Amino acid sequence: MTQETQSRSQRIIKNTFFLYIRMFFVLAIGLYTSRVILKVLGETDFGIYSLVGGVITMFVFINQSLNTATQRFITFDLGLGDRTKLRDTFSMSINVYLFFSILLIIVLESLGFYLLKQLNIDSARMGAAQWVYQAMIVITVVNMLGIPYKSLISAHERMSYTALVGVIESVLKLGIVFIVSFHGFDKLKLYSVLLIGVSLINYLLNWLYCSKYFAKESNYKLVWDKNKFKHFLKFSGMSLYEQIAVMLTYQGIDIMLNMFFGVIVNAAMGISKQVQAALMNFISSFQGAMSPQITKSYAAKDYQYLDKLMVVAPKFSLYLILIMVFPLYFNIEPILIFWLDNPPEYTVEFSKLILISSVVESISLPLRTLIFAQGNITRYQFVVGSMLLLNIIFSFILLKAGYSPVSVLWVRVVVYFLIDLIRIWFIRDLIKIPLIKYIRNTFTPVLLIITVGILSNYYINERFSFNVPLSILISVLITVFLILVIGLNTFEKNYIRNLLNSRILRKK
C-alpha cells in the first residue's frame, strides 16, 4: 500500500468515524423525536404533515438536479486543483439557486390553494395544512440556498464538522417537539413554523464555517457567467428526467395511497420512511466519506485507486446495511411497538419492505457518483428515469385492481433491483476491471452472505424464543461473522488490519 493510498484510505475511515458518531446521535434522537411527535400531533395531523411535505417535494425536483450538478462541479474542480475555477463555480451555483428559488416561490404560491383542495384532508384541518404548506416553502428555499456551502464542505471532506451540524440539528428538532407539546397553540401549525428556525440555523452555521475556513473559495462575487450557467443547466437538465421520476415514485405514490386509503396510511408510510431514513443515514456515513474521492480520483485520472474504490464502496455499503437490516427485519414488530406504542395499520408491513428496498438501493450512490463524475449522463438518465416511472405505473394498476397498499413497495423493490443492474452496466467503460470479474469480486460474496444470513436468522427465530435485545445481538453477531469469514478476501482483511493499526484519527 503506497503512502498516498494509505493516507486517502485513512481519511475515508476518519471521516466515516465522524459520520457514524453523527449517525448514532441523530438516529437515537430522531427515533425518540418521531415517537413523541406522533403522540403530540396524532395520526391525522402527522399524516397531513407527511402528505403536504410530499406535495412540496413534488415541485423541488429541479432542486435535486441542481444539487447533483453543484456537488459534481465543485468536487470535480477541487480534484483538478483549480481554486480560481472553483470560486467561480461556487459563486455561479449561488446565483443559479437564487434564480430558481424565486421561480419556485412563484410557482408554489400560485398553485398552493388548488393543490391542497385536491388532497383528502378534512376541512377542519385545512387551515393547519396551509400553514404547513407555507412553512415547507420557506424551508425548501433556505435548504436550496445552503446547498453550495454544504457541497464545498463535502468536497473538502470535512466530515467532522458535518457530523457536528447534524447532531445540533437533531437536538434542535427534539427541542421543538417539547416546545410544541407544552404550548397551547395549534400544534401542527407551531411545529411547522419552528422547523423554519432549524433550517435557518443550519444555513447560518454552514455559511460561517465556509467563510472562516474556505474564505477565498466561498468569497461570493456578483457575476453572471452565461457559459457556466448553460453548463449548469445542461447537466441539471440531463438529470432532471430522473429527478422527476424519483419525485413521482415517492410523492406520487403517497398521493395515490391518500386517494385510495386516506391519511392514516400516509402516517404509516411516513413512519416507514423514517425507518429508511435512519438506515440510509447509517450507510451514507460510509458512502459520504467515499463519494468525494470517487469524483476527485476520476478528475485526476487516478484510475488505479478509482477501481479499488468502486469495488470496496458497493460491497462494504451492502455489508454495513445488512448488519442493520437482519436484526431489524426479524424483530420489526416488537421494535415498532416499543418505539410508537400503537403504530398505525400497515406500519409493520411497510417497514419490512422498506428494509428490503434499502438493501437494494444501498449500492446506488457510489455507482451513480462515478457515472456523474464523467459528465455524459444523457443516455443513463433516460434509461434510469424510464425505469423509475414503472413504479408509478404498476403501483396505480395494482391499487386500482384492489390490491393492498403494501403492493406499491413490492413494485419498488423489483424496479430498484433492475436499476442497480443498469447502473453496473453503465460503469463498465469507466473502470478498468472486466465487468464479469467486477461483479464476481463485488457481489458474489454479498449474495452468499444474504442467503446464509436469511436461513440462519429464520432458523434461530423459529427454533428459539429469545427476548428482543438478545435476538438483535445474536443477529448482528451472525452477520458480522459471515462478513469476516465469507465476505472479505485476504487482501481486504490485511488492508483493513493495516488501516486500523495506523493512527487513523490524527489531524490532517
DSSP state, residue 335? H
* Rg over CA atoms, the chain: 23
The predicted structure's pLDDT at residue 506: 46
C-alpha cell at position 275? 425507518
The predicted structure's pLDDT at residue 86: 80
Is residue 345 in a domain? yes
Q: Which residue segment(s) compose the domain that 281 sits in?
A: 3-501
The 3 state secondary structure assigned to 440-508 is HHHHHHHHHHHHHHHHHHHHHHHHCCCCHHHHHHHHHHHHHHHHHHHHCCHHHHHHHHHHHHCCCCCCC
Geometric angle at alpha carbon 79, from 281 and 208, rounded to 5°: 60
C-alpha cell at position 367? 455507482
Is residue 506 in a domain? no
Where does 214-252 have alpha helices with state H?
Answer: 226-247
The predicted structure's pLDDT at residue 507: 43
Cα–Cα distance measured from residue 86 to residue 97, given in angstroms and rounded to the nearest whole number: 17
Number of domains in the chain: 1
Cα–Cα distance measured from residue 347 to residue 32, given in angstroms and rounded to the nearest whole number: 17
Q: What is the pLDDT of residues 428-466, one digit of tens each?
A: 888 888 888 888 888 888 899 999 999 998 888 888 777
Decide: residue 313, CB within 10 A, 0-12 exposed, 13-18 middle, 19+ buried.
buried
Is residue 335 in a domain? yes
Is residue 507 in a domain? no
C-alpha cell at position 372? 456523474
Kindly provide the b/e burial profile for residues 390-424, where b requires at least 16 CB atoms within 10 angstroms of the residue's own CB: bbbebbbebbeeeeebebbbbbbbebbeebbeebb
C-alpha cell at position 392? 408509478
Is residue 426 in a domain? yes
CB atoms < 10 A from the CB of 13, how many? 16
The answer to whether residues 93 and 151 touch, using CB atoms and an 8 Å cutoff, is yes
This prediction's pTM: 0.69
Residue with grid cell 468536487, as numbered in its chain: 75
Largest Cα span, the chain: 69
The answer to whether residues 142 and 200 touch, using CB atoms and an 8 Å cutoff, is yes
Decide: residue 445, CB within 10 A, 0-12 exposed, 13-18 middle, 19+ buried.
buried
Is residue 508 in a domain? no
The predicted structure's pLDDT at residue 505: 45
* Ranges of the chain with pLDDT below 50: 1, 503-508
The predicted structure's pLDDT at residue 477: 92
Q: Which residues contact 497 (CB under 8 A, 6 or more apart)?
A: none
Is residue 270 in a domain? yes
The predicted structure's pLDDT at residue 188: 81
Cα–Cα distance measured from residue 59 to residue 423, given in angstroms and rounded to the nearest whole number: 26
Long-range contacts of 78-82 (CB under 8 A, 24+ apart): 78/155, 78/156, 78/296, 79/295, 79/296, 79/297, 79/298, 79/299, 79/300, 80/299, 80/300
- What distances in angstroms separate CA 163 from CA 143, 322, 405, one per listed residue? 17, 23, 36
Cα–Cα distance measured from residue 169 to residue 157, given in angstroms and rounded to the nearest whole number: 20
The predicted structure's pLDDT at residue 417: 92
The predicted structure's pLDDT at residue 508: 44
The answer to whether residues 48 and 127 touch, using CB atoms and an 8 Å cutoff, is no
Q: Which residues contact 127 (CB under 8 A, 6 or more apart)?
A: none
C-alpha cell at position 390? 414503472
Dihedral class, residue 375 (left if φ above 0, else alpha if ψ from -120 to 50, else beta): left
Is residue 491 in a domain? yes
